Amino acid sequence: MTTVSNQQPHGPAPARPGAKQVLVLSVEDDASDAALISELVARRADVTLLSATHGGAGVKLARAHLPALILMDMNLPGLSGMDALGFLRNDPNTAAIPIIGLSSDAPRSANSTRLCGFFGYLTKPFKFEDFETMVDAALLHSAQRRQPAN
């Protein structure tokens, strides 16, 4: 199942000056975690959220829509987050998209997740400020890589 949403009951925060609309893909099978991610992302007026509930659908959506950022749960049914990461990193069209890994299992280290190909990693339950900081950094990274060289 996939959904697209950029709505929030209290309304999104105003877009930052000069901010362009960007697409973020969330791949999360847990309904409560998916709802929380949707609520947090919806606070940004410059983000449209695309969602998938399993790794295979996430890979297909990433290839079809080329989002600015992917939020990837690690423990997905069928194709795991790590396996989905491998498919995305081996595709030249999706290889440079920043991917933030999400899991209730703590990683061995931040360096090990970067070596695996993740932009970053958040352990659930994560602090909202940590989520926002990492999403901001990943979207900035994505915007910089998409800018034409001078």
- Could you identify the residue written with the tokens 């352990």? 123
Q: Which residues pair with 25 in a beta bridge?
A: 50, 70
Q: Which pLDDT value is given to residue 83?
A: 93
pLDDT under 70 in the chain at which residues? 1-19, 106-115, 148-150
Q: pTM (2 decimals)? A: 0.83
Strands 2-5 and 47-52: antiparallel
Task: State the burial class of residue 35 (Cβ atoms within 10 Å of its Cβ: 0-12, 13-18, 19+).
Answer: exposed
